[in-house]
């Protein structure tokens, strides 16, 4: 099993490793040459290991299938429900510009203030020292409050947040499906609501050359869900009827549905990369291609 999930034993009562030091993370990738350091780091190996382990964990499984839901998973969903409720409590303000509603900054300020407390509610008492470190990833995962934008870098911070919870043993091997289907899927719902409510700009978007304005991971895990599906092939996801009938079971189709809700005009024009992917013969090829593309990006 990949390195990030080496837990000290398997029973719930296991004491944490004796020496665990926590520190508030700081930005380490500042110039292009730092990317080389990042690619060779243990952090990169852990992060990609995490993504790929979950990719295998959800292979061929529907969102609606049965899976174990542990207490930490329930607590993470409650945390996301809180963020969702704050959106309702912070309506957009009237302003001249159409995009980047300034009410997002009010919403974000609340998260900035409460993040450590929210994280402390998820992790056990003996790991309380980890909260300031882990909370940074949560704060980074919802978009930028200055620019009022959101993109795949923010999404990566949420995956890193979940990876941290695995590293300290809060989430376990048998939480894999729930991490993707329950927690990450709920995260996506909240992010879509943020994007819509505050009309957030896409961060670092490559426009028509990018896969999607806002997300990437649900396309990876979502294509894995569809591997060896008896009837749905990649060419079907551009069919509106197929999407409407199956989106509740498959993350990939949920993403397509959101794109078609948000964008007008021919699919091939506004989502050219995805249109090209629909010509790939199998979901396993789509999945492999997306993983390569993710590493490159």
pLDDT, tens digit, 9 for 90 and up, residues 124-143: 999 999 999 999 999 999 99
Q: Each residue of 176-226: pLDDT tens digit?
A: 999 999 999 999 999 999 999 999 999 976 766 789 999 999 999 999 999
The pTM is what? 0.93
Q: Is 122 exposed, middle or buried (0-12, 13-18, 19+ CB in 10 A)?
A: buried
Rg (CA), the chain: 19
Of 130, 132, 185, 138, which is closest to residue 160 (Cα–Cα)?
Answer: 138
* Spatial contact of 242 and 296, defined as CB atoms under 8 Å apart: no
In order of their start, the domains of the chain are 44-202 (no CATH), 216-296 (1.20.120.1150)
- Is pLDDT above 90 for 10? no
User: E-strand spans in the chain?
Assistant: 149-150, 201-202
Q: What is the mean pLDDT of the chain?
A: 93
Paired residues of 201 in beta bridges: 149
Q: Which helix (H) or strand (E) holds 132?
A: helix 131-140
């Amino acid at each position: 099993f990949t390195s990030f999930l080496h837990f000290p034993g398997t029973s719930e009562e296991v004491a944490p490793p004796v020496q665990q030091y926590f520190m508030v993370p700081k930005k380490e990738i500042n110039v292009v040459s730092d990317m080389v350091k990042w690619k060779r780091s243990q952090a990169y190996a852990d992060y990609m290991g995490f993504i790929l382990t979950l990719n295998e964990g959800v292979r061929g499984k529907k969102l609606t299938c049965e899976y174990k839901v542990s207490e930490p998973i329930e607590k993470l969903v409650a945390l996301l429900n809180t963020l969702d409720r704050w959106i309702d409590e912070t309506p957009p303000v009237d302003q001249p510009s159409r995009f980047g509603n300034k009410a997002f900054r009010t919403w974000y300020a609340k998260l900035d203030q409460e993040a450590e407390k929210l994280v402390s509610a998820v992790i056990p008492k003996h790991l309380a020292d980890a909260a300031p470190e882990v909370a940074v990833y949560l704060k980074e995962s919802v978009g930028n409050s200055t620019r009022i934008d959101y993109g795949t870098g923010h999404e990566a911070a949420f995956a890193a947040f979940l990876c941290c919870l695995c590293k300290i043993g809060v989430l376990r091997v048998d939480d894999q499906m729930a991490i993707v289907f329950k927690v990450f899927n709920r995260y996506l719902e909240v992010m879509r609501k943020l994007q819509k409510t505050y009309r957030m700009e896409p961060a670092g978007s490559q426009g028509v050359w990018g896969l999607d304005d806002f997300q990437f991971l649900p396309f990876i895990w979502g294509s894995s869900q569809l591997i060896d599906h008896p009837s749905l092939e990649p060419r079907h996801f551009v069919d509106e009827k197929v999407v409407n009938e199956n989106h509740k079971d498959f993350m990939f189709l949920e993403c397509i549905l959101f794109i078609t809700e948000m964008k007008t005009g021919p699919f091939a024009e506004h989502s050219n990369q995805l249109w090209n992917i629909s010509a790939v013969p199998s979901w396993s090829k789509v999945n492999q291609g997306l993983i390569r593309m993710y590493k490159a990006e």
